[in-house]
Amino acid sequence: MDSSLTLSLSHTNSDTHDLIGTYFLEQWRLKSKAAVRKSESVMGVSENQYLMEIDSEECEEELPTELDTLHSSGGFSIVGSDKLSVRYPNAHLHGHDVGVVQANRPAPCKRLVYYFEIFVENAGTKGQIAIGFTTPGFKLRRQPGWESNSYGYHGDDGLLYRGQGKGEAFGPAYSTGDTVGGGINYASQELFFTKNGTVVGTVFKDVKGPLFPTVAVHSQHEVVTVNFGKRPFVFDLKAYEAQERAKQHSTIEKLSIPQNASYGIVRAYLQHYGYEDTLKTFDVESRSTLPPISFVQENGFAEDVSVYSLNQRKVLRQLIRSGQIGDAFGKLRELYPQILQDGTSAICFLLHCQNFIELVRVGKLEEAVLYGRTEFEKFYKLGDYDDLVKDCAALLAYEQPQKSSVGYLLGDSQRDIVADAVNAMVLSTNPSVKDSRECLHSRLDRLLRQLSACFLAKRTFNGDQGEGFHLHRILNSGMKG
């Protein structure tokens, strides 16, 4: 073979190995960081519970909790000591003698719905109370809805004001003893208002920036209290959210997809990860359905790429997941020696680490120490792996390492990282593979990533407002439903 071609192929293999190896090392690092957070804050919960908590943490935002007492409307509102009540102190002389108070924080926006309520303790002499949403810097001497980029549902006339002095027919007036609420539906990009637990109406939200829950009083003796969620709402918010999700699901259910689409995705998943026996059972069962499911190659996917070395990949995964790393090394040397050619590669590092972990797992600590001294030194000197070497070595420092911050290494999920890395490396040896990144994920994995990207794109379009894509929440809701 021409020497220049040999050199080119060597560089290509090296680049492929680096790309795949680096990806799975980063997966390990992410898992390590998550394990530290878990040990610090949520000890004692199951792994599935923790993953669901991570999903919710991604959208964790500070909520409004009280009224803002730092910014004043010039003496035309007096906030109570509890910072949840406001009253109008005297008779107003001018139209701009309004007492307006915003919440201490804007409404959180990375969610489906935000909502708060006020209770009218006293409608005063004229009942000119308002509830609404305003932007930062809003003039606190003007009713919400009178200025641009603000919205207000007014009690004296039941009109809705949005950015101008003229109101529009909206709902009933409200007065002493009424509970009125204001909410933001980020899915539909609408504001909605309620009275005594019933939705009054909705209005399109054309402001993309942050909005503060806002209340206003404008005549003598008016008193309102605000509930930001510390007490149960009169309005059934959970039922409303469930109704909104049902609308989304109904829209999804109306979409038409090919009969064999889900079959093809599941089959491709089993092929990609080398689950040969399950794949055979799946194919047998699919042929027994009425009508039988047939899978037609579409979108340029070639099945021979995903079935490449299927049996060998199955055997390697079984060996790694059962902790037989020495046998996995032997199989790789026999079948794919090019994968282990560079003894300091990321894939070699992953395998050696797993071998060390398996020795600790079965209590062969002295053997683990000797193995670590022999194999880890070359990796530690490189500097690229020192943090992960330290994680492995830390297993020896604990009497019960499974309960420590590095206990995650003894779980099956760590074996899965190594098994997935080896699986991707074997797939990359297929001459038909033109881009080694295709070896990292199955079509199902790519579909889930695309779904997440679509949710994020939608949220970006709506001014970074709305929910992200949380797989655990969706799966959990499916199990409940």
**Token pair for 361:** 């797992």
Q: How many residues can be counted in the chain?
A: 481
Alpha-carbon Rg for the chain, nearest whole angstrom, is: 31
State phi, psi for 426 to the nearest 5 degrees.
-65, -45
CA distance 118 to 85: 9
DSSP lists the bridge partners of residue 199 as: 194
Please give the torsion angle defined by the CA atoms of residues 167, 168, 169 and 175, in that order, rounded to the nearest 10 degrees.
-20
pLDDT at 13: 57
pLDDT of amino acid 476: 64
pLDDT for res 74: 67
Q: What is the pLDDT of residue 474?
A: 66
3-state class (DSSP) for residue 356: helix
Q: 446 by DSSP, 3-state: which?
A: helix
Which residues of the chain, if any, have pLDDT below 50?
1-12, 42-59, 296, 298-301, 479-481
Is there a contact between 388 and 32 (Cβ–Cβ < 8 Å)? Answer: yes
H-type alpha helices, 47-124: 47-58
Which CATH code is given to the segment(s) 78-236? 2.60.120.920
- How confident is the model at residue 182, as a pLDDT? 98
Q: Which amino acid is at 380?
A: Y
**Its pTM surpasses 0.85:** no
Tokens standing for residue 127: 């009942």
Q: For the chain, percent helix, then strand, then coil, each to nearest 5?
A: 45, 15, 40
Distance, CA of 314 to CA of 424 (rounded, Å): 12
Please report, for the chain, the start and end positions of each structural domain, with discontinuous segments joined by +. 3-31+261-440, 78-236
The whole-angstrom separation of Cα 77 and Cα 87 is 6
* Beta strand pairing call for 113-123 and 222-227: antiparallel
Q: Please tell me the distance from the alpha carbon of residue 87 to that of residue 90, in angstroms, as a whole number.
A: 9
> What's the pLDDT at 9?
38
Q: Smallest Cα–Cα separation from 424: which of 321, 267, 309, 328?
A: 309
DSSP 15-62: HHHHHHHHHHHHHHHHHHHHHHHHHHH-TT--HHHHHHHHHHHHT--P
Kind of pairing between the strands at 99-102 and 212-217: antiparallel
- The total of other beta-carbon atoms located within 10 Å of residue 467's CB is 17
Cα separation of 191 and 438, whole Å? 43
Residues 81 and 313: their CA atoms lie apart, in Å, by 68
Burial class, 60, CB count within 10 angstroms (exposed 0-12 / middle 13-18 / buried 19+): exposed
The HSE-up count of residue 425 (CA atoms within 13 Å, CB side) is 30
Quick one: pLDDT at residue 228? 97
